[in-house]
Structure 1
Amino acid sequence: ALYGARGANGVVVITTKKGANAALDNVKARTNLNETAFFYPNLKTDSKGNVIIEFTTPESLTEWKFMAIAYTPDLKTGYLEQNVRTQKDLMVVPNMPRFLREGDQISVSSKINNLSDKVLNGSAKLMLFDAFTNQPIDAQFKLINAVQDFSVAKGSSDQVTWTIDVPKNVQAVVYRVVASAGDFSDGEESALPILTNRMMVTETLPIYVKEGQKKSFQFENMMNNKLTSLDNFKLTFEMTTNPIWYAIFSLPYLREYPYECAEQVFSRLYGNMISEQVINSNPKIKAVFDDWNKNGELKSKLQLNQDLKNIILEETPWVKNAESEEEQMKQIAVLFELNQMQTEMKSAFQKLSDKQLSNGGFAWFDGGRPNEYITTHIVSGFGNMKKMDVNFKAFEIDVNPLIKKAIQFIDDENLKRFKEFKKDQKSFKDVTYSDGLHYLYARSFFLEDYPMSKELEEMKTAMLKNLNDTKLELSLQQKAMAAIVMNRFGMQSAAKIVVNSIKEKAVESDEMGMYWKENQPGWFWYQAPVETQSLLIEAFDEVTKDEKSVEEMKVWLLKNRQTNQWNSTKATTKAVYALMNFGKSWIDADKGITVKIGNQNFDLDKNSQAGSGYVKTSWNKEEIKPEMGKVEVAKTSPGVAWGAMYWQYFEDLDKIKSAETGIKFNKKLFVKSNSANGPILKEITTSTPIKVGDIVTVRLEISVDRNMQFVHIKDMRASGFEPVNVLSGYKWKGEFGYYESTRDAATNFFSDYMRKGTYVFEYDLKANNAGNFSNGITSLQNMYAPELSAQSEGIRVEIK
C-alpha cells in the first residue's frame, strides 16, 4: 500500500506504509508539510512497472513543483523533479484599467484562452453592476452588444472587446466577464472605482458671534449664481458653542493622512498621542464619545471595500464627507477608542523609528538626504507633547532613544555651521535666522534631559547675543520664536521687548480677533500663517501672560480653519497645540444662540450632538436653494460661538483654466519607439495618434520664479494609461532630488527644495485601453502652505 501527503507549498510525497514515518518526517522538516493534507492517491501501473499517480489539485491557476523519490530495501534511490501547471481548458483574462472616470468612452477587452485539445466555439458576456446595490447598470454605461461570439483554435487565444460610456453619479462598478463553450466555462468578477471628471470647489463662510450680537452672513455667488456649468454638490452648516471641538475634529485628519514622509508619520503619532491626552484629561469629552459609540461602530459600504476606498478617498476625498452625520460621529468616536489608539501609536512610532537614519536625522521621504528642518520639527513636536504632559510610557513606547539621536543630529549640524560662521563674524548673525533659531526653540524643551556640551554652550551664548542684537529685524514667526527662546534661556526682558513690539503692529477686529497683516504665506517654512499664529499665541502666553490677547489670537486661528482641518498636517499639529495648551478653557462655553438659514429657523438644541454642543447639518444638491446662502445668527448669553457654512460645487476638469502664480507648466505626451540608434520620441498629434500598446512618455516642464521648499507635484492621468514604473522611490538629477510616488490615478513628485529655474520630469505610461479620456490636470502645491499653488489646463487624450 502506498501513502501520500501534500505540503503547504504543493510538494507531494508518495511512499509505502513501511517507510512512511521516516520519509514523511524528513520531508515535513524541509517543506513545511501539512499533515492534514494526507491523501490516498489512485496508483496505476503499466506492464513496464511505471506508476501513474492521480490526485485532486487545489483550485489555483499556478505552477507546482512535483518531486518524487524511490528507493529499494538496499537503499538504491532514484529522484525525479518536474514542474506541473494547473489550468482550465477555457480561460477568460480581462484587461481592465485601474479606475474609470466620468464622461470617458473606453474599450475594455478580454482574452479568451483555449487550452483544450479541440476548437472551442462559444460566447463571452460582459455584465455591469452597481458596487453598492448590486443592481444591473448596463444601460447607464450604454453597453449594447454585451454578448460577443468567439471561435478559438486549440492552444490558441482570441479577444473580445466592448465599448462603454462611463456615466455620472456612479461611485463604483462591479464588472463580470463570463465565457462558455460547450461543457467549458470560466468567469472573472472585480470592482472598479469611478472618479469624477469634476473638480470640487469649496467656498467658506465663517460665522462668529459674541454675547449681545446679531449678525448676517451670505454667499454672494450662491445667491446670484448664473453659471450653467456649475453643479451644486453640498451645502454644510456647522456650529459649536465649544470651539475646542474644532481642534478635536482635526485630530483624525492627522491620523489618516495618506502619504508616508517622516513629518506626516510623526503627525500620525502626534495625533494619536494628543487624542489620548484629550480622553484622559477631559472626562466630559470622553462621555460624549462614549455616547456616540455606545451602539458600536458603523461602517459604510464604501469602507467595507478597502481597495475601492483607497482610490476613491485619495482622488475624491469629499466622498467620505457625504456620509450621514450620525455615521461620521460614530467613526470619530471609534478613532478615540483607546485600544485602537494604542495600536496606531505603536505602528506610527515604529515607522518613524525605521525612518531615522544612522546619524539621527530624518529625510523628508525615504531615500533622500537627512533634512535638518524636518528633524528639528520632529524634535520640537516631541517637546510640545512633553509640555502637554503626554504619557508615552502608558502605551509602552520609549521615545528617548529616538529623541536623543535626533538631538545629537541637530546639535552636530548647528555646531558645524557655527564653526564655519566663527571664521566670518559678519555673516554669523545668520545662525539666529530660520534653521538656527528653530534649533534653539526645539532644543529649549530638552535642556534638563540632554544638557548642552561646552562647545554647544559656547554656540548658544553667541547665538543668543546675536539674536538679541537682531531681534527686531526678524520676520513675524521668527520674532515669536525668538521671544520664546530668549524667555526660556533667561533673557526675559529682551523677550518682553520683542512681544511688545509685535503687539504694536497687531490688528484687532470683532470678527477676526487679533492678527497681523504681515502674516502672509510664503514658500518657506517660516512663512506659514497658521504656524506663525500658533507660535505667537505661545509667546504671548509664556512671555507676557497676556490672556486677553491670547483669546483674541485664538479667534483668528479658528477663523482660518478650513472645511475639516487646517491647511496642512504641520499647521494642524501647531494649531491643536496652541488651542489646547494656552489661554482659557473653552470646554464649558455657554449656549443661547438663534440661527436662521434662508427663510427657515434652525433649531440648534434639537440638532446638536449629545454633550458637545456641536451641530453639523448638510443639504444635498436637490435641497440647495439660492436663498439658503444667507445666514442670520444672534446670541444673548455670555461667551463666544463659532460656526461656518461651506458651499461645495463642481466644475469640469476639461474646463479648468491654468492658474499660475509665478509657475508655468508645459506638459507634452510623446510616443516612444525604438530605432537602431536608440529610443525615439515623437510628439503626439492628429497625424501620430496613440494606439493601444504604445509606450507614452510624459514630459512635464515646470518653470518657477522663486526658491521653494517642500513641493508636491501631482500629475493626473487618463484611465486608459497604465504606469510602467510602479515602484516609488527617490531619484536624483544632478543635485536636484525628488521622491516619485506612483498612485492608481496620478503620479506624485515630492521635492524638499526647488531653486528658481526650470525642471523636467519624465515618466512612461502604457496605452492599455482604447477610448476618449480626460487626462486631468497637473498641480503644484507647497505641502505646508497649500494656498500657494498652481495648476495646468485640463486636456483630453484619444487612444485608437
Structure 2
Amino acid sequence: NRPDTQLETMEAAMPKGWGYGGGKSASAANTRIRSEFKPWAYYNGSVVAGKDGLATVSFKLPDDLTTWRVMAVATDGDLHFGSGEATFIATKPLLSNPILPQFLRKGDRFEGGLSVTNNTNKQGNLTVKGELDDNIEFVAKRSKSSETLRAKLGTGTEAYRFPMEANRPGEATVRFVTEMGRRMGDAFEVSLPVQSLSVSETVVESGTTSDRAVIPLNTNKNVVSDVGGLEVTMASTLIPEITAPAKDVFREDRLPFLEPAASQLAIAANLQILGNKYGQAFGDFEPAKQAALALEKLAKLQQPDGGFAYYPGMEYSDPFVTPYAAEAIAKAIEAFPYLVKPEIVDGVEKYLASIWAEPGQYEYCDEELCKSQIRLGAAIALAEFGDRRNAYLADIYKEREQLDLVARIELARYLSALPGWQQQSQEMFDRIQESIYETGRNATINLPRGWGWLNSETAAQGSALRLFIARDGSQETSDRLLQSLLSLRRNGTWQTTYDNAKALNALVDYSETQPTPPNFNATASLSGQKLISAQFEGYENPTTSVNVGMDALPKGQSQLILDKAGEGTLHYLVEYSYRLPGNQPGRFAGLRVSREIRPVGSDEVLQRIDLATPEKPLTVKAGQVFDIGLEIVSDRSVDRVIIKDALPAGFEAIDSSFQTSTPSLQAGADSWAIGYQQIYRDRVEAYADRLEPGAYQMHYLVRSVTPGTFLWPGAEARLQYAPEEFGRSASATLEVK
C-alpha cells in the first residue's frame, strides 16, 4: 500500500553457495564425517493411533544441520480430519556448511570452500583441512589434493574460500574437516559433478562389408587433446545400427514431453528384446533403468481420462500421440513385464477404447478423415495389448485414399492380421508397392509432404519394411527396404527421437527374419597398428568395440581398415568426435539466436552474444541479479521449437514463479508463443509449438553466486523434428569477482 517505498537489500555475510543455509549441508573431527544429506527425513502415509489418540514413530535424521519441520494430517475415515505441525533444530556447537557451485565444467576456476558457525559464544583457534579427489584440485598450492588453514574464529559465522580448478569430468568429492580446540569439530563430504566439455563435431560412418572396408581419418593437430576420440564397433548383427541411435536418444537430457518419453521407452524395450535374442549386453545403456525413467515421465503426463498430455501443464490428452505412447508401453510389457504398473495400462486402454468409440469428442475433429485417423491409431495400439477390433474398420477403409501414405501402410498391416480383411489388405499392399522405387541396392518409399512429423520419411520407410515382413513379401525387397532405411541416417542416427524409435521397431522385426548364425573373424587396424580383433561365431558374443582417446590418435591423414574373413556380414560403426580449442563461434542454420545480459530492472546491456565469440570475458560482482534475454529469429513458420540456454557454473537460475518471490525482481516478458519453460541446475529450457516469421523473446533471472572464471556455452534453438534446422549463439567466458 506504499508504492513509493523502497527497501534496501541487506548484504549477506557471504555470497550464497550450494548447500549454504540448510538443505544440503555438512559434520565432524574425531569427528564423524557427515555425508548423508536429504531434503526430507521421514515419510509414512499410514500411522495408526491408539485408543488414546496418540501415535509414535521413530526415524534416523539425515546429516543436515538445519531446522526440521514436522507436518501431520489425521483422519478418522469418516470425512473428519485435522492437521498440525511443529519444528525442531539439529545443530552442533561448531558447524560447517559447503560454499560450492551446483556443478562445474572442465576448466572452470573458482573459489570454493565452507562457512563455519561458532555457537559457543567463545573465541578460539580454528583449523580447517580440505581434501579433493582427482576431478578438482587446489590451485597454486604445494599439494593439489589437500590444504590446511589456521585462523582465529570469533562468535557467529565466517566464510573461508580456496582457489580450485575442475580438471577432469566426473563426480568430484569435496571434504572439509574443521576443529576448534581439541573437543569441538565438524566435517562434511559432498559430491560435485564436473561436466565434460561438449564436442564441437561428431562424424559417424557405418555400414556393412563382406571382406574389407577402408575409412579415411584426418585428425587436426589443433583439436583439444583430452576431448573426444575414435570409437570403433564391429558386430555380426544389426546391433551397431541400433546402438548408435540409442546412444543419441539416451545421452541427452530430453524435455519431459510425451513423444520423447514414449520413444525412449520403445527403444529401451527393443534393446532388451534384441539383447535377449543375441545374448548381448549394451554397456552403459541398462535398458531396464532407461525404461523405468521413461515410464516415470509417462506417469506424470497421464490424465484422469487415462490418456497422456503432450507436455507438463497441458490439461487434456493428446489423441494423436497417446496411441504411439501406448504402443511403447505394450512393447515394454513384453520386455519388462515387472516394470509397468497396471494402473497405467488400465488407464490408457480405457482412453483408447474411448477415442475408438467416439473420436469426435474433440472439437477440432468433426470430419470423417480426422475421426478415421484417430480410430486407426487407437486400433493399432489396442491390438498391441491383444485387443484387435474391427467394428469401425469399414468406415476407416472407406477413407483410405484420403489417408496419408504412412497411415495407409499401417492400415494395410493391421488388416493383414484379420481373417475377414485379407483381400482388402492384399489390394492395399499391391497399391503400396507401386509407391516403392527400387534400385539394385535400395527400395525407397516415394512420400508426399505429410501433414505432420508423425508421418516422416523414416516412419514411412520403417512402416513399409514392417508391412513387407508381415505380408511375407520378397526377401530381396525387404533387404532393399532395410538398406534405404539405413541410408536415411545422418552421422549414424536418424534425426529425431521419434524417427529413431520407428526405425528401431522395423529393425527388430527384420532381425527376427535372420536365422543364419555367422562365423567369421574381424580385425580393425589404424595406420598399420591393430586396434582390436574378434571371432564371431553364432550369437553368443555378437559385438565388440574399442575406444581410442584423442591423444592416442595419429595426427594428420590416416586410414582405418576393417578386415573380415569367414562366413557372414560384418556390421560396423565408426564414430569420431572432437572439439576445437577456445570459445566456439555461433551457428546459423535456419534460426538465429542471440543472448543479452543486463542487470535486473535495467535497460543497460552488459554484453550481447551473437554469432561471433566475444573479445573479452563478461565480468560481474558476486551476489548480483541479472536478466538473461534470448532472441530467437525465424524468417519462416516453424513448428515445435526447443530452446536451451546453458548456465555458467558461477550463476544460479532464479525461479520467480513462487508466491514468495520478490516482486521487485522480475524478468522481462516472454513472447506468448513460448509456452513452456523449465529451470535446471545447469540450464534453462523452453518450448514453442509454433513460431511464425519474426523475432521472439525469452527471459529468466540468474544470481551470481560463486567467484571464479567459468565457461559459458552458447544458447541454442532447434526444431524438435528437424534438428538440422537450428541456431546457436557463440560461447563465452564469465568472471565473477
**TM-score, normalised relative to structure 1:** 0.68
Query: Contact (CA 8 Å) 2:235, 2:544: kept in 1 or not?
Result: yes
Where does 1:112-511 land on structure 2 (aligned, <5 Å)?
A: 112-130=116-134, 146-148=147-149, 150-154=151-155, 156-164=156-164, 166-169=165-168, 171-183=170-182, 184-210=184-210, 214-219=212-217, 221-222=218-219, 225-227=220-222, 233-244=228-239, 246-247=241-242, 259=254, 260-271=256-267, 273-274=269-270, 277-278=273-274, 282=277, 285=278, 288=279, 329=283, 335=286, 341=288, 352-353=298-299, 355-369=301-315, 370-381=317-328, 397=342, 399-409=345-355, 412-413=358-359, 416=362, 420-421=366-367, 431=369, 437=373, 440-444=376-380, 446=382, 449=387, 451=389, 460=396, 463-464=399-400, 466-467=402-403, 477=406, 480-481=409-410, 484=413, 491-492=424-425, 495-496=428-429, 498-504=431-437, 506=438, 508-509=440-441
Distance 1:459 1:358, change over 3 A: farther
Matches of 2:496 and 2:406, distance apart in 1: 17
Secondary structure, in 3 states, of the residue corresponding to 2:132? strand
Secondary structure, in 3 states, of the residue corresponding to 2:571? strand
- Match status 1:649 vs 2:578: yes
Matches of 1:687 and 1:349, distance apart in 2: 43
Secondary structure, in 3 states, of the residue corresponding to 2:622? coil
Matches of 2:512 and 2:41, distance apart in 1: 64
Matches of 1:715 and 1:418, distance apart in 2: 35
Query: Contact (CA 8 Å) 2:618, 2:733: kept in 1 or not?
Result: no
Distance 1:483 1:650, change over 3 A: same
Distance 1:494 1:735, change over 3 A: farther
Secondary structure, in 3 states, of the residue corresponding to 2:309? coil
In the TM superposition, what is the alpha-carbon distance from 1:609 to its structure 2 partner? 11
Letter in 2 for 1:500: Q
Distance 1:772 1:585, change over 3 A: same
Comparing 739-748 and 373-382, the one that deviates more: 373-382
Letter in 1 for 2:433: N
Determine which of 506, 522, 526 is the counterpart of 1:578.
Answer: 506
RMSD between aligned residues: 4.8
Matches of 2:272 and 2:618, distance apart in 1: 59
Matches of 2:533 and 2:407, distance apart in 1: 42
| Partner of residue 646, structure 2 | 716
Matches of 2:716 and 2:684, distance apart in 1: 11
Paired-residue identity, %: 16
Letter in 2 for 1:662: G
Determine which of 46, 56, 60 is the counterpart of 1:32.
Answer: 56
Letter in 2 for 1:168: N
Query: Contact (CA 8 Å) 2:517, 2:537: kept in 1 or not?
Result: no
Determine which of 655, 658, 674 is the counterpart of 2:586.
Answer: 658
Comparing 104-113 and 630-639, the one that deviates more: 630-639
Query: Contact (CA 8 Å) 1:593, 1:635: kept in 2 or not?
Result: yes
Matches of 2:335 and 2:361, distance apart in 1: 30
Query: Contact (CA 8 Å) 2:223, 2:578: kept in 1 or not?
Result: no
Determine which of 699, 704, 707 is the counterpart of 2:634.
Answer: 704
Query: Contact (CA 8 Å) 1:699, 1:761: kept in 2 or not?
Result: yes
Where does 1:506-655 land on structure 2 (aligned, <5 Å)?
A: 506=438, 508-509=440-441, 513-515=442-444, 524-526=452-454, 528-542=456-470, 545-558=473-486, 567-582=495-510, 585-586=513-514, 588-592=516-520, 594-595=522-523, 597=525, 598-600=527-529, 604-605=533-534, 611-626=540-555, 629-633=558-562, 635=564, 637=566, 639-652=568-581, 654-655=582-583
Deviations 1:306-350 (A, max 9, x none): xxxxxxxxxxxxxxxxxxxxxx64x66xx47xxxx5x98688657
In the TM superposition, what is the alpha-carbon distance from 1:663 to its structure 2 partner? 0.5
Matches of 1:688 and 1:209, distance apart in 2: 52
Deviations 1:342-397 (A, max 9, x none): x98688657635532234432222212533332242245467789xx879699784
Letter in 2 for 1:443: A
Distance 1:170 1:138, change over 3 A: farther
Distance 1:237 1:228, change over 3 A: closer
Query: Which consecutive unaligned segments of at least 5 residues does structure 1 have?
Result: 1-7, 11-24, 38-56, 67-80, 293-327, 423-430, 468-473, 673-678
- Match status 1:94 vs 2:27: no
Matches of 1:241 and 1:622, distance apart in 2: 30
Distance 1:773 1:62, change over 3 A: closer
In the TM superposition, what is the alpha-carbon distance from 1:150 to its structure 2 partner? 4.4
Distance 1:240 1:561, change over 3 A: farther
Deviations 1:568-615 (A, max 9, x none): 442333222212224763353423355452314566435999823312
In the TM superposition, what is the alpha-carbon distance from 1:508 to its structure 2 partner? 4.8
Deviations 1:137-193 (A, max 9, x none): 665899799555544543x333333333x2533534322334444344333332212
Letter in 2 for 1:449: D
Query: Contact (CA 8 Å) 1:130, 1:137: kept in 2 or not?
Result: no
Distance 1:586 1:657, change over 3 A: farther
In the TM superposition, what is the alpha-carbon distance from 1:197 to its structure 2 partner? 3.8
Query: Contact (CA 8 Å) 1:93, 1:110: kept in 2 or not?
Result: yes
Query: Contact (CA 8 Å) 1:171, 1:195: kept in 2 or not?
Result: yes
Secondary structure, in 3 states, of the residue corresponding to 1:169? coil
| Partner of residue 749, structure 1 | 686
Query: Contact (CA 8 Å) 1:242, 1:589: kept in 2 or not?
Result: no
Letter in 2 for 1:377: Y
Deviations 1:597-637 (A, max 9, x none): 23145664359998233121222234322488423345565
Letter in 1 for 2:508: M
Matches of 1:263 and 1:649, distance apart in 2: 30
Distance 1:628 1:621, change over 3 A: same
Letter in 2 for 1:464: R
**TM-score, normalised relative to structure 2:** 0.73
Matches of 2:290 and 2:586, distance apart in 1: 40
Distance 1:407 1:737, change over 3 A: farther
Letter in 2 for 1:718: P
Distance 1:84 1:217, change over 3 A: closer
Letter in 1 for 2:238: P
In the TM superposition, what is the alpha-carbon distance from 1:793 to its structure 2 partner? 0.9
Letter in 1 for 2:675: Y
Secondary structure, in 3 states, of the residue corresponding to 1:158? strand
Query: Which consecutive unaligned segments of at least 5 residues does structure 2 have?
Result: 1-39, 43-48, 71-84, 608-615, 659-668
Matches of 2:671 and 2:503, distance apart in 1: 38
Matches of 1:419 and 1:719, distance apart in 2: 48
Matches of 2:261 and 2:247, distance apart in 1: 13
Matches of 2:457 and 2:466, distance apart in 1: 14
| Structure having the higher Rg | 1
Query: Between Structure 1 and Structure 2, how many residues are aligned?
Result: 650
Matches of 2:299 and 2:679, distance apart in 1: 24
Deviations 1:752-786 (A, max 9, x none): 44444332221111110122221111122333444
In the TM superposition, what is the alpha-carbon distance from 1:523 to its structure 2 partner? 11
Distance 1:353 1:581, change over 3 A: same
Matches of 2:62 and 2:57, distance apart in 1: 15
Deviations 1:476-514 (A, max 9, x none): 75675576578787644652454233223x4554xxx44
Distance 1:437 1:593, change over 3 A: farther
Matches of 1:609 and 1:602, distance apart in 2: 23
Matches of 2:374 and 2:69, distance apart in 1: 60
Query: Contact (CA 8 Å) 1:362, 1:371: kept in 2 or not?
Result: yes
Letter in 1 for 2:325: I
Matches of 1:360 and 1:9, distance apart in 2: 33
Query: Contact (CA 8 Å) 1:130, 1:172: kept in 2 or not?
Result: no
Matches of 2:145 and 2:704, distance apart in 1: 25
Matches of 1:763 and 1:524, distance apart in 2: 31
